[in-house]
Amino acid sequence: MTFQVDHKEGLFYRQTLFDQAKRVVIKVGSAVLAGRDGLNIDVIGDLARQIAFLCSTGREVILVSSGAVAAGRRRLGVPRTSHEELKIKQALAAMGQGLLMQAYEQAFAGYNQNVAQILLTHADLSKRERYLNVRNTILTLFEFGVVPIINENDTVSVQELRVGDNDTLGAQITNMIGAEMYIMLTDVEGLCTANPADDASAKPIYTVAHIDKSIESLAGNSASLLGTGGMQSKIHAAKMVAACGGSSFIGPGRKADIVQELFSGDLVGTFFLPNQDKIKERKHWIGYVLRPTGVIGLDEGACQAIRKQGRSLLPSGITGVEGTFQVGAPVHCRCPDGTVVAAGLTNYSSADIDRIKGRKSGEIKTILGFCDSDEVIHRDNLVLLENSQEDISNIR
């Protein structure tokens, strides 16, 4: 399989990238933190020790932590059901978030390391001003030598406000602050060529050079019992980070000294190399943080112009529009084969795009009575979404 890198080369890449990483985001899931009787204090203590060690080397570290709902569930003795009401999960999160932070405060205090809590919803990230405020808060905490501990605000989140899972949240935070390394600690060893439970010939994949459809198809080879993200969300998160020039790791969170082993260059878990061509932070926000409010259908010529030539989207290449949106809205651009080729911020409303689709830019003023731009989406506000076949049925 061409996506793999051999052991010797993989070790070289790992060691080089870990040595260069000055900002690190570590995400730990419920499956790692939650024990039978509540939070696993031993795991939390070991994690605090390792993060404190990284901080002592001059690195800036963020911890993205799940576990609030699981902690609240165990404290209140509420059994888990397949169709649990949102209000139950929110109440459990309200109960468990305090327990989670108390555990971290006590663990980090043993290493004289201050921590701070940040709870976020998608609304905090989708508004540019609030997004930048979150970034500034994190950078200021770094100046004070504090480790930010971030979680999705499950107590108030409803579907339209949710980031989705902490794997995605961690990737967005990684790219927001320009971290070089994103470490996802979970209850599996990493990616394998097949499911080890079903195939005795399955082998671990230690280093991935590029995340493509062949890698994404391996997501079903590993599964987490307690987490909400699963391997599919972790691969998607690694892909987001790679697009902005960062590297990622998926590996066993309960393995003793796992973080220090990684920074020592040990061959463990699965490591994802960064893309050579990285996108800018603002384009990451457009492509990976904002949710599409509509879809613009393109002809093949427009798809090729965007994909291969880095062109803006002109009305002549548009075949249709789905959804209702206004000027400046985030939208996805879809090719005739169904592939979502790009995300962007539109210069025209859905109603106006429907009127000028398939027409030349010089005709816009005649048709609409005004012409704010020759482009429907300027290339500066257009982001390629490589190999995307994502579900866009829930546009609003």
Evaluate whether 333 touches 313 at the Cβ level (below 8 Å): yes
pLDDT for position 107 = 97
Average pLDDT over residues 310-333: 95
| Pick from 118-132, 140-154, 220-234, 362-376: least confident | 220-234
User: H helices then E strands: how many in the chain?
Assistant: 15, 15
Q: Looking at per-residue confidence, does 390 or 138 come out higher?
A: 138
pLDDT for position 7 = 57
pLDDT for position 390 = 42
CB atoms within 10 A of CB 337: 9
Percent of the chain surpassing pLDDT 70: 89
pLDDT for position 6 = 57
pLDDT for position 5 = 55
Q: Indicate if the pLDDT at residue 333 is higher than 50.
A: yes
Q: What is the tens place of the pLDDT at every residue in 109-128?
A: 999 999 999 999 888 888 88
Q: What is the tens place of the pLDDT at every residue in 298-312?
A: 999 999 999 988 899
Domains and CATH numbers, the chain: 7-282 (3.40.1160.10), 291-388 (2.30.130.10)
pLDDT for position 55 = 95
pLDDT for position 226 = 38
Q: What is the tens place of the pLDDT at every residue in 183-241?
A: 999 988 888 887 777 777 888 888 898 888 888 887 765 544 334 457 888 998 999 99
Which of the residue ranges 249-263, 273-287, 360-374 has the most confident prediction, judged by mean pLDDT? 360-374
Average pLDDT over residues 123-141: 91
pLDDT for position 163 = 54
pLDDT for position 395 = 37
Q: Indicate if the pLDDT at residue 17 is higher than 50.
A: yes
Q: Indicate if the pLDDT at residue 8 is higher than 70.
A: no
Q: Indicate if the pLDDT at residue 2 is higher than 90.
A: no
Average pLDDT over residues 313-340: 95
Residue 378: HSE in the Cβ half-sphere, 13 Å Cα cutoff: 8
Sign of CA dihedral 68, 132, 146, 18: positive
Q: What is the tens place of the pLDDT at every residue in 28-52?
A: 988 898 876 678 899 999 999 999 9
Percent of the chain surpassing pLDDT 90: 51
pLDDT for position 209 = 86
Q: Looking at per-residue confidence, does 297 or 3 come out higher?
A: 297
User: CA–CA separation, 221 vs 226, rounded Å?
Assistant: 16
